[in-house]
Amino acid sequence: MTALKPFTMPKWGIEMTEGTLAGWQVQEGKPFAKGDVIALIETDKITNEVEAEADGCLVKLVASEQDTLPVGALLGVMGPPDADAGEVEEFVASYKPSGTGSANDDDGYGSAGGEPDSGGEITDHDEPPSPASSASPSERAQANLVTIPDDVAISPAAKRAAEAAGISVDDIQPSGRNGRITRQDVDKAIAGSRSPELKGPIEAPGQEKAFASPLARRIAVQNGVDLSSVEGTGARGRICKADVLKRIDAKQPVAAKEPSKKPQGAGSAGAKEIVPMNSMRRTIAKRLTQAKQDVPHIYLRRKAMAHRLIALRESEGKPGTINDYLIRACALALREVPSVNVQIFEKEIHRFDSADISVAVATDRGLITPIVFAADELSVSDIARTTSALAQKAKSGKLKPEEFQGGSFSISNLGGFGVESFDAIVNPPQGAILAVGKAVPQPVDDNGAIRIVPVLHLSLSCDHRAIDGVDGARFLDALVRLLEQPEQL
């Protein structure tokens, strides 16, 4: 029977239970080389590339693009290009997930486990068998492959790989204990026997001088996008994947919208477009609904004069945005009122020594909250550099799970969009979130003098199970004092 292997949904991080196949990067039945990107897998917050750790071929693509599947689900079948179609279909029909689909599985393809060796041999833990090495004796004979005697000092996995590749033991330099040949020795011998294949540069319009990421270039080549006409939103204007995908979407013809039938009592009778939620938006909807239902919110509001903060920022040469100063001020206020710097679980309250502040960032796929760790120990300029880097990674989908999971407090600032005030929903398991509006000129009593100055509208949402109103009031009082006396920052 042809050697077939499952290619499954990988698992990245403890909290990952499902993923979305954002796109196939290989074609069915077409071989790929080690290092090629096989697929793009999208999780709640990020998009990762699955790279081939060995040469291979996907003889069948089981999952379709944009399918959301659990960890360990079968995405495709790997095997030789000439695999029998009936055997492939039988493999798909009989496949059952047998593991977690960890990205660190031995085969390197997110495989959720596999069948044991028929002979029950114990192979080297770091020597995964290749598809070709598990061929039957008759298949190896048809391919004119060698047979290695049983008395040769060679590991089982190395023996199978050498026989499948037609490598004689005389051509292999052993490096194992007592002169034993390992799988790595065979791989080196195979690599040394191959003639280099010069493919040359990628030929694509606008690629020559474009400042773009490798993934952006690859997607551009596959879709015929001229990178010279794409505006980069990455660091220093670098073109990222999201920029190319945006241009591809703009090139797609707009499908004619069918006029919707207006039910009695319904609203507009105009055309409508039904847009399915992506995995990130579905997760946001689920978690916000749960937070609003399960968390008893309490809302506290204050105003803060911002004219001294604005003047200080100008005098310091604008080391960061107003939001960076707000992060610094919140961090110091949390240090002063630690009862707000918490995470809340069913029967426990976790209080933190450092202020790990999550900052809401809007992306094309939805809202994400990268974390500025230990913000209370960073200067405003340090915070500015950190938030800028995190925002760029968030918008390009390159955040690592540890960069957005956790945090002890959140800030959501919509002042830049002209919103004067709003209330935010607590982001569990955190205990509080600060909503910041636009600084609006208002008359205020400033030490006995009536002045018209920019005033920030602040709204603190707290989980009332662990944070009392007096704790939130003390936090806001400390925050307002820091903002109105910014030299303390």
Give how many domains the chain has, as a whole number. 3
Say yes or no: 152 and 234 in one domain.
Answer: no
444-455 average pLDDT score: 89
DSSP string, 330-358: HHHHHHH-GGGSEEE-SS-EEE-SS--EE
| 276 upstream amide cis, omega within 30 of 0 | no
| pLDDT confidence band for 193 (50 / 70 / 90) | low
The pLDDT of residue 259: 52
CATH of the domain at 134: 2.40.50.100
| 308 and 214 share one domain | no
Cα separation of 404 and 326, whole Å?
A: 19
Are residue 172 and residue 215 in the same domain, yes or no? Answer: no
Q: For residue 136, is pLDDT > 50?
A: no
| Residue 281 included in any domain | no
Residue 57 contacts residue 79 (beta carbons within 8 Å): yes
Q: 277 in a domain, yes or no?
A: no
Strands 409-413 and 357-359: parallel
Give the domain CATH number at 227.
4.10.320.10
pLDDT given for residue 121 in this prediction: 34
Assess whether 229 and 337 both reside in one domain.
no
Residue 251 is predicted with a pLDDT of 65
Token pair 């793009």 in the structure block, residue: 40
Domain of 176, in residue numbers: 5-193
pLDDT, average across residues 177-182: 83
pLDDT of 114 reads 40
On whether both 302 and 420 belong to a single domain, the answer is: yes
Both 70 and 133 in a single domain? yes
Least confident residue range of 5-14, 78-87, 115-124, 344-353: 115-124
Does residue 315 form part of some domain?
Answer: yes
Q: How far apart are CA 184 and CA 158, in angstroms?
A: 8
pLDDT 10s digits, 199-212: 555 555 556 567 88
Token pair listed for 353: 């020594």
pLDDT at 128: 42
pTM of the model: 0.53
For residues 341 and 235, membership in a common domain is answered with no
pLDDT tens digit string along 288-317?
898 889 999 999 999 999 999 999 999 999
pLDDT over 90 (residue 397): no
Compute and round to an integer the Cα radius of gyration of the chain. Answer: 29
| CA torsion angle 465 468 473 475 (round to 10) | -60
Same-domain status, 177 and 215: no
Amino acid residing at 340? V
pLDDT digits (tens, 9 = 90+) for 82-122: 888 888 898 998 888 765 444 444 444 554 344 333 333 33
Residue 254 lies in a domain: no
Burial class (CB in 10 A: 0-12, 13-18, 19+), 416: exposed
Q: Quick check: is 125 catalytic?
A: no
Q: Which of 156, 174, 193 marks a domain boundary?
A: 193
Give the Cα separation of 243 and 250 in Å (integer): 11
Helix, strand, coil percentages for the chain (3-state, nearest 5): 35, 20, 45
Q: What proportion of the chain, given as a percentage, has pLDDT over 70?
A: 81
The answer to whether 334 touches 409, Cβ cutoff 8 Å, is yes
> One of 297, 307, 350, 464 is an active-site residue; which one?
464
- Asked whether 305 and 455 are in contact (CB, 8 A), the reply is yes
